[in-house]
Amino acid sequence: MKAFLKFDYNLLTKKILEDKLTSFGYKFSILGFGEIEFYENVPEDKIEELREEFLKYGITIIENQKSVLVQKIKDAIHEMVYGEEILNVKVSVYLAEKLNHSYGYLSNLFSDITFTSIENYVIIQKIEFAKQLILNNKLSLTEIAFRLNYSSVAHLSTQFKNTTGITPSAFQRIISKRRDKNQ
Amino acid sequence: MEKDYIHIILADDDEDDRLFFTDAFDELKMKTKVQTYNDGVELMNYLMAENAVLPNVLFLDLNMPKKNGIECLHEIKADKRFDDIAIAIYSTSSSEEHIEETFVNGANIYIKKPNDFNTLKKVLSDVVTINWQYHTSGLNKDNFLLRM
């Protein structure tokens, strides 16, 4: 038999961080998504150990300032797309206020490092979330469109098709055929 | 940190297509490393070698002598070592049935070979860009389907 799982990624990452850092033995606090602070000096070789330990879980310690900011942009977008409350602000305003930089600066930096624009990245994230919701089978496409703040189902379907080249229903059909085949 | 180039492999028996493909990547701003193979047997020999450096994206032509793209796809999907490779089917066919079948069999991307060089560049750039996002932003590869 098979069971399908659903993950709470925020809780999952937080729990891993807490467990690992507690056994690491230095006083710390988790400042928010993707940021931790140590209350005492941690020697470089210890940081190396932590880096290796984290890598097993797909967590990378980043230090380059630009990469850090790009990661913050991604996290903020993630929060905006996946968050429970539907925000009716423009992405540009939201990011500029949250990260305290002009949108022009953030946008140029983001394109330089990731090869894609912030606007495009937001669309990719929304479509990824739509895919998860479609596969969960709990919400109708109309409800998914509303959840992701699209003005209509047609708008969601068009953006889905433009981004992936296939329609939401073809996507659902292909994935379920794949699952049947692998059973 | 992330390595600074994207590793790409193409298996295609048509010499012109291979040339267009490598030329297109030379003109993109992303740093890429492109390797090509002339047929499915050559490709699988490379991938199966013990110390093979595995690509980020693998482009498979469907019609190749000795071993065709579908056969390669099946072999690759049956081997856990290759789970991280995004598979792109690169073909002249645009039959709906064909396309859906390759997706169901585990392909991530389906590209109908464009007729002109500029479209080819645009298509390959889009493919590599979106693949890069899957690679660097922790997106779920199982849900990665893209048709160009």
Query: What's B11's domain CATH number?
Result: 3.40.50.2300
CA A140, CA A149: separation in Å to the nearest integer? Answer: 14
Instruction: Please give the pLDDT value at position B1.
Output: 32
In a domain, B52, yes or no: yes
For B100, nearest residue in chain A (alpha carbons): A174
Chain segment A125-141, per-residue pLDDT in tens: 999 999 999 998 888 99
For A61, nearest residue in chain B (alpha carbons): B1
Which helix (H) or strand (E) is B47 found in, with range?
helix B40-48
Chain A residue numbers touching B114 (CB-CB < 8 A) = none
Contact assessment for residue A96 and residue A104, using Cβ atoms and an 8 Å cutoff: no
> What domain count does chain B have?
1
CA B44, CA B11: separation in Å to the nearest integer? Answer: 10
The lowest-confidence range among A28-32, A73-77, A148-152, B135-139 is: B135-139
CA A159, CA A162: separation in Å to the nearest integer? Answer: 5
Instruction: Please give the pLDDT value at position A33.
Output: 67
CB pairs under 8 A between A and B: 56
> Domain range holding B98?
6-147
Instruction: Please give the pLDDT value at position A90.
Output: 86
Chain segment A153-163, per-residue pLDDT in tens: 999 999 999 99
Nearest to A16, CA basis, from A8, A26, A4, A6: A8
Contact assessment for residue B89 and residue B73, using Cβ atoms and an 8 Å cutoff: yes
Contact assessment for residue A124 and residue A74, using Cβ atoms and an 8 Å cutoff: no
Q: With a CB-CB cutoff of 8 Å, which residues 27-56 of chain A face chain B?
A: none
Residues 6+ apart with CB under 8 A from A78: A33, A125
Q: Looking at residue B12, what DSSP letter applies?
A: -
Is the model's pLDDT at A75 over the cut of 50?
Answer: yes
Q: Looking at residue B141, what DSSP letter applies?
A: G
Instruction: Please give the pLDDT value at position A150.
Output: 92
Q: Who has greater pLDDT, A37 or A74?
A: A74
pTM: 0.77
SS (H, E, C) chain A: CCCCCCCCHHHHHHHHHHHHHHHHCCCEEEEECCEEEECCCCCHHHHHHHHHHHHCCCCCCCCCHHHHHHHHHHHHHHHHHHCCCCCCCCHHHHHHHHHCCCHHHHHHHHHHHHCCCHHHHHHHHHHHHHHHHHHHCCCCHHHHHHHCCCCCHHHHHHHHHHHHCCCHHHHHHHHHHHHHHCC
Instruction: Please give the pLDDT value at position B73.
Output: 95
Q: What is the DSSP string of B60-88?
A: EES--SSS-HHHHHHHHHT-GGGTT-EEE
Contact assessment for residue B94 and residue B112, using Cβ atoms and an 8 Å cutoff: yes
Residues of chain A with CATH 1.10.10.60: 121-181
CA-based angle B88:B106:B18, to the nearest 5?
20
B146–A178: do the CB atoms touch at under 8 Å?
no
Chain A residue numbers touching B56 (CB-CB < 8 A) = none
Thinking of the domain A121-181, which architecture would CATH place it in?
Answer: Orthogonal Bundle (1.10)
The lowest-confidence range among A30-44, A97-111, A148-162, B103-117 is: A30-44
B143–A58: do the CB atoms touch at under 8 Å?
no
Tell me which of A112, A115, A135 to substitute to probe the interface with B (most B C-beta atoms closer than 10 Å).
A115
Say whether residue A154 is in contact with chain B using an 8 A CB cutoff: no
Phi-psi region of B62 (alpha: psi -120 to 50; beta: other; left: phi over 0): alpha
Q: Which residue reads 């390669």 in tokens?
A: B72
Contact assessment for residue B50 and residue B81, using Cβ atoms and an 8 Å cutoff: no
Is the model's pLDDT at A86 over the cut of 80?
Answer: no
Chain B residue numbers touching A58 (CB-CB < 8 A) = 138
In a domain, B83, yes or no: yes
Q: Which one of A28-37, A164-173, B131-140 scores highest in mean pLDDT?
A: A164-173
CA B11, CA A180: separation in Å to the nearest integer? Answer: 29
Which among B100, B129, B140 has the least Cβ separation from residue A115? Answer: B129
Pairing, β A35-38 against β B57-61? unpaired
Q: Is B34 helix (H, G, I), strand (E, B) or coil?
A: strand
Say whether residue A116 is in contact with chain B using an 8 A CB cutoff: yes
Instruction: Please give the pLDDT value at position A8.
Output: 84
AA identity, residue A7: F
Instruction: Please give the pLDDT value at position B2.
Output: 45
In a domain, B134, yes or no: yes
Mean of pLDDT over chain B: 90
In a domain, B1, yes or no: no
Q: Who has greater pLDDT, A179 or A67?
A: A179
**Per-residue pLDDT for chain B (148 aa), expressed as one digit of tens each?**
345 688 999 999 999 999 999 999 988 878 889 999 999 999 999 999 988 999 999 999 998 988 999 999 999 999 999 998 999 999 988 888 889 999 999 999 999 999 899 999 999 999 998 888 887 777 888 889 999 8
- Residue A164 CB neighbours (<10 A): 24
